[in-house]
Every structure is written in structure tokens, then in C-alpha cells.
Amino acid sequence: MTNKDLIIINNEKIFEDNKNFYCDNLDLKVIPEGLSEYYNVEYIVRKSSKKGKQRINFNNIKSAPGIFKFLYFVFQTIKKKPKANYLLISITPYTFLSFLILLIFRKKIFIYLFSSGHEEYKHILGSWFVWIYHIMYVIVTSCSRVIVCHKRLFNHKKSHLVFISRLDDDWIKNHTKPLLDKVRYLYVGRMSPEKGIFDFIKMFNSIKFNAEFLIAGNTNNENLNNNNIKFLGYITKPKNLIDAYDNSNIMILPSYTEATPYVVDEALARKRPVIIFDDISYIVRDKKGIFVSKRNNESLLQTTKYIMDNYYEIQKSMEKNNLPTRKDMIKQISDIINLEN
């Protein structure tokens, strides 16, 4: 670790309990934990009233109950650490206001984008809010060093591309042979409309074929009157999540919009083919083992049948995937920040 200061500013919420910090979103811990090996990191976030299941192995965190306290923490870092670099995670009202303050004080600002954000805001809040978001997006990306996670966003002269990952060595070794006696779909993620999970459950229920559907994530929708749908709950331990992938044979990602989903690389690391729908076909890039289906029963069945009939050939092709690890991602971000200094 160097003696350089890095302030990470994130709109997400973290729970604090006697100087121990918890979250549910793994991104909230991976980035500050990893970058703390390279910098003196201070992390500014929003305060959560709900204790997450992931303990963050890093405690130089300031969690604010509201916007005024949040911005006060930003002002404090400007005064106490005048030579610090700033890394903003995504564009939100909280990070945008922080950006304006940092811009006024002529601080060196990096913005880390999982996606452009336009589709997510449109799907969640509607078309009208997208215009407000777009104004924030143009201002921030025009005046910052931009770190992006997808080639679609790599269109700015100040852009740097990184390949995000949560993978470590446990994910890419000791592969298990899949059971192919029937289709075993797996979904990993939150239960929310933009993820397409509720629509996929309806689709699954309407198809009569030998299959089961495993769902790993928080849910209050366990009464679905289908014995072939099994809820695994929210899985926090990496070993248990690896087991969930290994107990399936096809990972399903029914989202209507995505940035760069970790779960795809997790499935590919365990050599499990992935089915997505054509709404998010842009995430395929050059990765082997991802199949695009139309969002209807016939296309889903055709895609599933092709995978099951050619399973071992598909697994063989997936050996060509050069999947980045978590250490690779953190090293890339660190190198970009150093390059710009």
C-alpha cells in the first residue's frame, strides 16, 4: 500500500454496528477492500437501518443518514486530505452533488460506471426522469476520468475500460460434472421486475417439460404452487454459491436491462451455459457459452434443447474464455488511477 489517499464515494447503503460494517451488495465490499491494498482509502456511503449479510473487511467508512451529512463528509475530506483522488461509484443525486463540490475545488475525479444508467432509470422511474439523469451523466463524464465496465461505454476520450469480476481461485478450479437427466435452471439475483424474474416464473409455469428451477436470492414469493421451483434463499458464502451453480446445468438471466452482470462470469467459471433474452444480447461480447433466446416459450425450449443436446461440446468451447479475477479488476482500477496522476 502507498501513502496516497483515495476517497471512494458511493450512493449505496451500509449498516454500521460498533465499527463493524455490513451490506448485501458484494460490490460495496469488493472495491474498497481491494483498493485499500493500494491506497489509504476512505469510504463515504449512506447509512442503512437494515443489517446486511456481508461483513466488510474494512472499517474506514463514514455512513451518512442523509444528504447533508453525506456532503459534510465530502467537505471534510477536501479540508483534511487536499491531495486525495476521488472515485465516484455510479451517477446518482448523491454522487452528482458530491461531484459538483469536488469540481468547484478542482479535485481529480474518477467516475466508475457499471453501465450508462439510462436503461435502468427508464425501467425503474420512467422516461421523464431519464432526461434529468442524462444531464447529470453528460456533465459528470465530460469533467471526469471515466472508468467503464463495458465496451459500449468506451466512447469518451477520457474513458478507461476494465473487466469487472468477483471471481477468485475457488471459482475456476475443482469443476464438477453436471447432472443432465433433466433441465435444472438457476437464477441468482434479486427479485425485482427489471430482472424479469417474475415474467420468467410465469413462462416456466406455462411450459410442460422435465425441468426444475432453482432461485438464489431474497424473496417473499415462495407460495407459487409449483413443486419444480425451489428457493435457495440469499446465499452469502462463496462455497455455497459455487455449490448452487454446480447443482444446476443452465444459468438463466431473464433481465430486461443489465450492465455487466457478475452472475454470467460466475456461471461460465463453473462451466455452466447461460441463457439470456434478446433485450440484453449486448452482454455476450466474445464469451463462449452464452445463448440468446427470444422472450417466448418456443424460443426458450429450442435454446434449452440445443444446450442439453450439445452440453459437453459447449463446455469444451468455454475453456477459451479468459475470465478476469477480482484481483485483476482491482489492479486495473489502481493502474488507471496511477496513470492519471
Ordered structural domains, the chain, with CATH:
5-165+326-339 (3.40.50.2000), 169-320 (3.40.50.2000)
Rg (CA), the chain: 21
Q: Which of 184, 105, 182, 88 is nearest to 141 (CA)?
A: 88
What would the pLDDT profile of 72-81 be if each residue is shown by its tens digit? Answer: 999 999 999 9
pTM for the whole thing?
0.81
Q: Helix (H) and strand (E) counts for the chain? A: 11, 15
- Banded pLDDT at 331 (limits 50, 70, 90): very high
As a whole number of angstroms, the distance between CA 121 and CA 108 comes to: 27
Q: What is the mean pLDDT of residues 248-258?
A: 93
201-228 core/surface letters (b: 16 or more CB in 10 A; e: else): beebeeeeeebbbbbbbeeeeeebeeeb
Of the pLDDT bands very low, low, confident and very high (cuts 50, 70, 90), residue 236 is confident
Q: Is the pLDDT of residue 126 over 60?
A: no
* 1: helix, strand or coil: coil
Predicted confidence at residue 116, as pLDDT, reads 57
pLDDT of residue 55 exceeding 60: yes
Greatest mean pLDDT among 52-56, 267-271, 326-330: 267-271
Averaged pLDDT of the chain:
87
Q: Using CA atoms, how far apart are residues 86 and 76, in angstroms rounded to an integer? A: 13
Predicted confidence (pLDDT) at residue 125 exceeds the cutoff of 70: no
* Mean pLDDT (whole number) for 239-254: 96
**Residue 282: predicted pLDDT:** 84
DSSP percent split of the chain into helix, strand, coil, nearest 5: 40, 25, 35
Average pLDDT over residues 110-136: 69
The segment with the largest mean pLDDT, out of 143-157, 232-246, 306-320, 322-336, is 306-320
In this structure, of 69-73, 104-108, 139-143, 182-186, the range with the lowest mean pLDDT score is 139-143
| Dihedral sign for Cα atoms in the order 86, 87, 90, 94 | negative
Give the pLDDT confidence score for residue 108 in this predicted structure.
93
